[in-house]
Chain A
Amino acid sequence: MKPYKPPAIPSSEITPQALFQARRKFMQTAGGAALAAVWPQALWAMDNLGELGKSKYSAADELTPRRDVTQYNNFYEFGTSKDQPAINAGTLQTRPWTITVEGEVKKAQVFDIDKLLKMAALEERVYRLRCVEAWSMVVPWVGYSLAELLKRVEPTGNAKFVEFVSLHDPAQMPGQKAAVLDWPYREGLRMDEAMHPLTLLTFGLYGEVLPKQNGAPVRIVTPWKYGFKSAKSIVKIRLVEQQPLTSWMKAGPGEYGFYANVNPEVDHPRWSQAKERRIGEFLKRKTLMFNGYTDEVAALYAGMDLQRNF
């Protein structure tokens, strides 16, 4: 009698590992979706940020509809057109998430996002947002001043600048597969700008947790500067002595400066910054110096040549 020989499995029959794992992932997602279906209240409740304090820094401008704020985004990590972030940002995992604060500080720390959310009282702040592309919005952000975080790590005397580093993970951020910018996205502020109460460590908008396409789970908002200065999905904050080289400065040194203060008198080399289109409005409106925050921030730049330090 011939011994039994198992038939050879052709290699075409073998499920590739990547596919195998993708199925696993699919089942996990399906399981999560099923859970969400039977337990929706609990999941929605997590999105709401609860009671929020009012802020004296809120602008009186009419709000841009939530739909526009969340569907028209510049977030190159998810694609370079404005509608792509809302479509592609689903892959971003916002838990677990930490921010490492290090550099010229006495108490370098790693902060968990859920701890950060409770570290200081959340406020709603209605800010004007002016993009370097000459459009603008009015957004009710939720967060607290970045100074609250910075003072807890006790910056040393050498801390002259703050650098923000965003997440770098092409699997979660498909736009990073293209070398449009030098990833990870880096931004920075001078120490006094970072400590200014207007500079907001931001966790939400319209009373809810930040949608992924708006820079979840935590971002910076500096309303008197062009939008690209406000780094999204940040994982690291470094306090440094030298002025950091930001992603946009690297990409176009003649077009994007370190300060990037909104200034109707300093044009982008290729287009005018004198006017802007407020989303939802037909006629363009005049752009205001420091985006209308002159009273709050002009003192930071006293005696500086803003044409040169653009």
Chain B
Amino acid sequence: MTIKNLDNRGLVRVKAAVFLTALLPFAKLAVAAYADELGANPIEKMTHVTGFWALSFLLITLTITPLRRLSGCLWLMRLRRMLGVFAFFYAALHFATYLVLDQFFDWPAIAKDILKRPYITIGFSAFVVLIPLALTSNDAIIRRLGGKRWRALHRLTYPCAIAGVVHFGWLVKKDLTRPIMFALVLALLLGMRVAYRLAGNRTAHQKAV
């Protein structure tokens, strides 16, 4: 067994390790909330932490394909679904924090926010689009949909990630450092895909000639 060819037992171990690691931010947040160590404004803190990790996991999910190409480790693809579902998990916590703790089911205020505040409009839209992606993250559905349609649907991850970064950038008061860092990473990840596609077309073209 090498790093490029992981056997099933190796893969199970890697998956377990990734799963536990991905739960760490949630565990840390839960412990801090229980110990009342989230600072003066715990609801704001929870909103920021869950939002940060939702966006981070979305970007981590998008690193899998380029990483596989660079390293040649095909088994990396087997982690992608779990990472994507974690992105949804943190996004759902983020939305739940807003709905329950921040607004406390004040539906008129929420409706107004979604319609009038562009950063909430775009963030909420991204969350809504993530729902079908999370629901279609299992083998049975992939088989039912067929690989081609499933892939087309899951390309919505790209606009979701862009929307997530814009959502972050639009809400900060002045210091754009962190949103810009996310934007640069996302630009790199999307840029690599464009580059691969262009390179792929060229080789295909050369072969045809």
Contact = CB atoms under 8 A, between A and B. Distances in A.
A270 B170 contact: yes
Given A135-B44, A181-B174, A82 B39 contact: yes
A271 B119 CA distance: 9
A88 interface: no
Counting contact residues on chain B (CB < 8 A from A), the size range is 20 to 34
Nearest to A255: B173
Given A271-B117, A277-B41, A282-B104, 19 more contacts: A67-B40, A71-B39, A72-B40, A72-B41, A76-B174, A135-B41, A178-B175, A180-B174, A180-B175, A251-B174, A270-B118, A270-B171, A272-B113, A272-B116, A272-B117, A274-B109, A277-B43, A277-B44, A284-B103
Given A133-B173, A180-B174, A272 B112 contact: yes
15 contacts: A68-B40, A72-B39, A82-B40, A82-B41, A132-B173, A135-B44, A180-B174, A180-B175, A181-B174, A252-B174, A270-B170, A271-B117, A277-B43, A279-B40, A282-B43
A279 B41 contact: yes
Interface of A: 67-68, 71-72, 76, 80, 82-83, 132-133, 135, 178, 180-181, 251-252, 270-272, 274-275, 277, 279-280, 282-284
Contacts of B171: 270
Contacts of A280: 40
The B contact surface, by secondary structure, is helix
Most buried by A among B40, B43, B109, B117: B40
A270 B104 CA distance: 20
Contacts, number: 52
**Taking each of A67, A280, A284, which has the highest tally of chain B beta carbons within 10 Å of its own beta carbon?**
A284
Q: Do most interface residues of chain A lie in helix, strand or loop, or is the interface mixed?
A: loop
Which of B101, B103, B171, B173 has the largest number of chain A CB atoms within 10 A?
Answer: B173
A83 B174 contact: no
Contacts of A132: 173
A251 B175 CA distance: 11
Contacts of B113: 272
Nearest to B172: A80
Nearest to B43: A277
B39 A80 contact: no
A86 to B, nearest CB: 10
Interface string B109-146: 10011001111000000000000000000000000000
A296 B127 CA distance: 45
A270 B118 CA distance: 7
B112 to A, nearest CB: 7
B119 A270 contact: yes
Contacts of A68: 40
Contacts of B39: 71-72, 82-83
A82 B174 CA distance: 13
Contacts of B116: 272
A67 B122 CA distance: 36
Contacts of A272: 109, 112-113, 116-117
A29 to B, nearest CB: 28
A275 to B, nearest CB: 8
Contacts of B109: 272, 274-275
B28 to A, nearest CB: 16
Contacts of B173: 132-133
A277 B171 CA distance: 17
A280 B174 CA distance: 25
A170 B104 CA distance: 42
Contacts of A83: 39
A274 B110 CA distance: 13
B205 to A, nearest CB: 47
B29 to A, nearest CB: 16
Contacts of A76: 174-175
A85 to B, nearest CB: 12
B75 to A, nearest CB: 39
Contacts of B40: 67-68, 71-72, 82, 279-280
A283 B170 contact: no
A68 B45 CA distance: 14
Nearest to A181: B174
